[in-house]
Structure 1
């Protein structure tokens, strides 16, 4: 329906395909942080966008993850949360996607709202790696994009959200599936159970292990099948 295969047809690398799909979603959707969209279905979001509706960052991440999975690139929505996620009344998080790129052998952060993939020199980064690079003040930090979005302004803005990371473990489309989430929590930090004072964080498992959170898609699916609830994962 949306010709997704054509979006990535000319790309020779997994990173190129992820970049092309990021750009496609960026130009398909219009952002408005004040809007609330009820459906989490990518087709509903895209059809609403065609009708002129605007969406939040959450919808960008959902559409991008679904589109990447549709063309054979394993992907997941990624929800970034600030350290004060439980007490801040609004703007306590940001949503995007991460894609598993076989030719990189890793998860890579892809932000369709900004049309940005963070890079350290020639290497694409996941969200945790971006957090570490920003903390270290790495001068090689830049972005891969197709628009005029600036690296410095983006990094200044997004770094406030690079504290907690969580995702949904089962991202297959169109089937009954688990809604279990996995959150990466800094060692010794509080495990948040509330988002922006009022919204309960449900069906979440917690880990302080980057190796667990950034395991391959197959390993993450095993975690999803191993149980439910708010039990820690180590």
Structure 2
């Protein structure tokens, strides 16, 4: 049964786990199984029941797409297991003996992952585009700080980066993700009050709570909707929702994913969304996912990479009646589009129209410092 799994990097050599390497069939390692389901190791994590042992298929091949040049992979049955350290262009094979039938010849074939190389312009900022942010002294944020104080969370933090990581970590651990339920209102206090009653919500709820808590503590922050290149036709969900915050001491925007508790960095420098996509594509090995938790880079890259194509955010983040919020030519959001890419007008999966965005390919428009 052929399966394609994207995986990450590192190491080489071909090794076996336990005493399995002592068993051979046709000069290749032989492992034993009673049940037909097997687990696959990619990176650090075993994926249970990911493979069906199929002796009737000649040279049954698992195609692995590596994010970097080398990686650990493995195969585990209910009786035995084996581990490989494989690099791009290699194939490694072994046999699986199940019952009285001929052993199943199983092959791992490693191919390079094809990164999506995209670019943006750096034209001078359009004078008619401005993004507004709410201030921490608004009465709403007085209430948020009183109801959900973070003084003890931040007491030992000194840099903006450390403070933001702690606020994100607090947000991440307020509830367990549930992609099938939505909060009644889209503000932090309302969401957190529902959480007290057992509410669990999707990615956008994390992004809202994180934005509001960051704003309450003196940062300019915004919700950012990230979308795939094929958002108009994709059969599965074409989007995810994150937060970006402007770090005053570094004078730059930074990507935050409250659902996964992730801040991407390169060389110790936190990255915005466009920089994150570029860093994964060009310098995967050097990207670090900063977090208060242990986060698997391979797993998160599997999830997020396709979404890092289109970015859009509201032009006005102030707490105002909808009719009073800033728009440009009737558009309420700004979408960052790669140079030469199409301007999307619909999202097929949700049967919705994109008629609310201005489009720009300029990083200076989308990542302008807040005024």
Give TM-score scaled by structure 2 length. 0.56
Structure 1 residues 51, 178: CA separation in 2 closer, same or farther (over 3 Å shift)?
Answer: farther
**Secondary structure class of the residue paired with 1:69:** helix
> 1:62, CA displacement in angstroms?
0.9
Aligned equivalents of 1:76 and 1:139: distance in 2? 29
**Secondary structure class of the residue paired with 1:137:** helix
Aligned equivalents of 1:200 and 1:157: distance in 2? 25
Q: 2:325 aligns with which of 157, 163, 177?
A: 177
Please say which structure displays the higher CA radius of gyration.
2
Tell me what 1:231 maps to.
Answer: none
List per-residue Cα deviations over 1:161-208 (Å, max 9, x = no partner).
000011112222366534721100011111112223511224211100
Q: 2:234 aligns with which of 83, 88, 96?
A: 88
Q: 2:353 aligns with which of 188, 200, 207?
A: 200
Tell me what 2:188 maps to.
Answer: 42
CA contact (8 A) 1:30 1:49 kept: no
Gaps of 5+ in 1: 219-234
Q: 1:15 aligns with which of 161, 175, 182?
A: 161
RMSD (Å), alpha carbons: 1.7
CA contact (8 A) 1:21 1:67 kept: yes
Aligned equivalents of 2:261 and 2:288: distance in 1? 13
List per-residue Cα deviations over 1:120-143 (Å, max 9, x = no partner).
121111110010011113421011
CA contact (8 A) 2:310 2:336 kept: yes
> 1:5, CA displacement in angstroms?
4.1
List per-residue Cα deviations over 1:92-133 (Å, max 9, x = no partner).
111110000011110001111001100112111111001001
Note if 1:112 corresponds to 2:265.
no
Note if 1:215 corresponds to 2:368.
yes
Tell me what 2:36 maps to.
Answer: none
What are the residue-to-residue correspondences of 1:52-67 with 2, within 5 Å?
A: 52-67=198-213
Tell me what 1:99 maps to.
Answer: 245
Tell me what 1:224 maps to.
Answer: none
> 1:49, CA displacement in angstroms?
1.1
Note if 1:122 corresponds to 2:268.
yes
**Secondary structure class of the residue paired with 1:91:** coil
Aligned equivalents of 1:127 and 1:162: distance in 2? 7
CA contact (8 A) 1:29 1:46 kept: no
Aligned equivalents of 1:53 and 1:111: distance in 2? 20
> 1:148, CA displacement in angstroms?
2.0
- Tell me which protein shows more strand as a share of its residues: 2
CA contact (8 A) 1:87 1:197 kept: no
Tell me what 2:118 maps to.
Answer: none
Tell me what 2:299 maps to.
Answer: 153
> 1:18, CA displacement in angstroms?
0.7
> 1:21, CA displacement in angstroms?
0.5
- Tell me which protein shows more helix as a share of its residues: 1
**Secondary structure class of the residue paired with 1:95:** strand
Aligned equivalents of 1:178 and 1:90: distance in 2? 33
Structure 1 residues 198, 121: CA separation in 2 closer, same or farther (over 3 Å shift)?
Answer: same
Gaps of 5+ in 2: 1-146
Of stretches 53-62 and 172-181 in structure 1, the one that deviates more from structure 2 is 172-181
**Secondary structure class of the residue paired with 2:229:** coil
